[in-house]
């Protein structure tokens, strides 16, 4: 039977079963403006575990709950398609102590990885969470492989990481993970309902989250709110609803520089209303103003596009130059915030954005499949000589030539005298013709802020500093883990591990 059929069968059985699935009282008439004060008996549905969001965190939680014996797990997804932002990101997965690290002779550990993350987090990251995630990242990676995710047979070293430790899916997108996980969820009997938007929590008189109001038949962006149904959850509600990078009002309220003029790599549905609901029932807001922009994005395409993965792979053996001066202006593999800040400072004489140009030898660029797409879809360019390159981008040739020659001595000597870049992945990779170029400019990518959780994925209450009974959060919607700057490829292990952890906590209660 095809997946699609299974899904729809699931869905139909689920909808038909609403009258018999342990519902204590069928709900008739208009639903009141729901609040904790409503009688708890008025339920339309009942499930063992209710998960909001179908990205990495929600899918990992559903699979782990099933493995631990959960009989009835439901995932509600507000968008028409499944996978959330996880389905469109770069598919980069950092983990220490993996088989590929052993094969490539890389020395690493959970403490070293968490240490790199603490450094990028600029003193305000959550060390306990980072260590917990790093210590189980390899296990989470294995879960995706067991479900059918496929990765390139080599590691990448991303900005801010002290060693190469990043896997990437062969389709260079998180879709290479969400698709197998969705399939696995269906195989295990997890119910997945699309066009179903979380509206609010149902809280009992003791302040415990005992259910949620879900608008079924919600059509994102089409003005159809759907029909509210009250869903009881026996073991609590897990919010795995992602960040708010696509909510311009919310993000610019936190950081006024992030107006509508700054594009985003995220899906339009990354709007954060589930996060705001958590605050309404008492969750602690953490680091809401720390919103990351991706320094590998391109102003020449929409969303995450193709240049992002291309740049992430190629930065270690490329130079990024200021168009006006022909000179480098940053360590091309510094952490994201360092690079994005440096890029945003590239301006013409009137102060208008002047996206820098990243130059890579075709010889080394071509080792990654994205280069073909970058050239084919006109978001990158190939040149046979440095003169042609300089002319096309309007870069002063003499200065550029000087910079390239200077940088090539760093490649030879293994020491970057300009910016102290780690030359581990640049060994023997001189900047030589033919060249490939792309333009880079930051896009809003990741929201570090969210609701505070503990290492058991329990959401803390701002009045008691104890977990809010029945409320769990995992993934980007939780806050504080990464501090001021999340390292690339560290979100997937975060989402996966905390999703698994949430399921374990819910199942052990």
Partner 1 sequence: MMMKKLGKLVFLSVTVAFVAGAGLADSTLEQFDKIKGRSYHASFYDGESCDVCHETNRATSLPADDACQSCHDLDSLVEATARPAGEEGQNPHDNLHYGRDVPCMECHGEHQARQHMCADCHSFEYPNFKE
Burial class (CB in 10 A: 0-12, 13-18, 19+), 25: exposed
Question: What letter would DSSP give residue 424?
Answer: G
Task: List helix spans (H) across 271-318.
Answer: 273-280, 307-314
Q: Work out how close the CB of 200 gets to partner 1 at its nearest, in angstroms, rounded to a whole number.
A: 24
Taking Cα atoms as reference points, which of 289, 287, 280 lies closest to residue 468?
280
Q: Which of 182, 172, 173 is nearest to 147 (CA)?
A: 182
SS3 state of residue 320: strand
Q: What is the dihedral of CA 133, 139, 140, 143, to 10 degrees?
A: -170
Q: Which of 165, 235, 328, 336 is catalytic?
A: 336
Q: Which residue has the tokens 């030539």?
A: 401
Give the DSSP H or E segment for 498: helix 491-508
Do β-strands 227-233 and 45-47 pair in parallel, antiparallel, or remain unpaired? parallel
Integer Cα distance of 208 and 336 in angstroms: 38
Q: Do 194 and 226 contact (CB within 8 A), yes or no?
A: no
> Which residue from 496, 500, 497 is spatially nearest to 86, judged by alpha carbons?
496
The torsion angles phi and psi of 426, rounded to 5 degrees, stand at: -105, 5
Helix axes 127-147, 110-120, angle to 10 degrees: 120
Whole-number Å distance between alpha carbons of 440 and 256: 22
Run of H or E residues at 360: strand 357-361
Query: Strands, DSSP E only, in 91-226?
Result: 92-94, 166-168, 191-193, 196-203, 209-216
d(CA 50, CA 336): 34
Let me know if 336 is a catalytic residue: yes
C-alpha 4, offset from chain centre: 26
Residue holding tokens 């992030």? 258
For partner 1, the binding residues (CB under 8 A) are 2-4, 7-8, 80-83, 87-88, 171, 173, 175-176, 178-179, 182, 194-195, 219, 224, 268, 301-306, 369, 372, 377-378
262-271 per-residue burial string, b: 16 or more CB within 10 A, e: under 16: bbbbbbebbb
CA separation for the pair 277, 288 (Å, rounded): 15
**CA 293 – CA 336 distance, rounded (Å):** 7
**Would the CA dihedral through 481, 484, 486, 492 be positive or negative?**
positive
| Residues noted as catalytic | 336
């Amino acid at each position: 039977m095809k997946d699609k059929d299974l899904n729809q069968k699931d869905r139909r059985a689920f909808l038909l079963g609403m009258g018999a699935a342990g519902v204590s009282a069928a709900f008739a008439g208009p639903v009141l403006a729901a609040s904790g004060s409503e009688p708890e008996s008025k339920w339309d549905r009942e499930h063992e575990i209710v998960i909001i969001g179908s990205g990495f965190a929600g899918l990992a939680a559903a699979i782990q709950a099933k493995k631990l014996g959960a009989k009835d797990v439901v995932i509600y997804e507000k968008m028409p398609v499944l996978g959330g932002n996880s389905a469109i990101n770069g598919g980069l997965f950092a983990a220490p102590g993996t088989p590929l690290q052993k094969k490539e002779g890389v020395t690493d550990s959970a403490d070293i990885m968490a240490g790199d993350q603490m450094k990028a987090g600029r003193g305000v990251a959550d060390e306990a969470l980072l260590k917990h995630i790093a210590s189980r990242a390899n296990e989470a990676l294995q879960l995706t492989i067991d479900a059918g995710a496929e990765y390139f047979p080599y590691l990448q070293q991303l900005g801010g990481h002290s060693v190469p430790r990043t896997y990437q899916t062969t389709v260079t997108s998180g879709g290479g993970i969400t698709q197998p996980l969705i399939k696995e969820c269906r195989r295990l009997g997890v119910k997945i309902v699309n066009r179903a938007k979380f509206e609010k929590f149902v809280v009992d008189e003791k302040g415990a989250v005992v259910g949620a109001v879900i608008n079924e038949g919600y059509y994102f962006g089409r003005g159809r709110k759907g029909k509210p149904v009250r869903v009881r959850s026996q073991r609590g509600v897990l919010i795995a609803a992602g960040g708010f990078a696509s909510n311009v009002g919310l993000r610019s309220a936190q950081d006024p520089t992030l107006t509508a003029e700054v594009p985003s790599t995220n899906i339009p549905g990354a709007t954060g209303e589930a996060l705001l609901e958590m605050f309404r029932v008492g969750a602690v807001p953490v680091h809401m103003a720390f919103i990351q922009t991706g320094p590998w994005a391109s102003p020449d395409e929409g969303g995450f596009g193709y240049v992002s993965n291309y740049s992430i792979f190629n930065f270690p053996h490329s130079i990024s130059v200021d168009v006006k001066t022909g000179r480098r202006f940053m360590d091309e593999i510094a952490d994201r915030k360092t690079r994005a800040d440096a890029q945003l400072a590239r301006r013409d004489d009137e102060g208008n954005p002047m996206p820098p140009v990243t130059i890579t030898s075709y010889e080394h660029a071509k080792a990654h499949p994205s280069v073909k797409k970058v050239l084919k879809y006109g978001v990158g360019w190939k040149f046979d000589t440095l003169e042609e390159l300089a002319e096309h981008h309007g870069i002063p040739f003499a200065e550029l030539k000087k910079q390239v020659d200077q940088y090539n001595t760093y490649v030879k000597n293994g020491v970057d005298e300009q910016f102290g870049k780690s030359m581990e992945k640049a060994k023997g990779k001189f900047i030589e013709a033919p060249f490939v170029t792309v333009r880079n400019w930051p896009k809003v990518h990741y929201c570090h802020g969210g609701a505070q959780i503990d290492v058991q994925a329990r959401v803390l209450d701002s009045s008691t500093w104890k977990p809010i009974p029945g409320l769990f959060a995992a993934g980007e919607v939780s806050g504080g883990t990464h501090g001021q700057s999340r390292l690339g490829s560290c979100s997937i292990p975060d989402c996966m591990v905390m999703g698994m952890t949430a399921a374990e906590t819910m199942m052990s209660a």
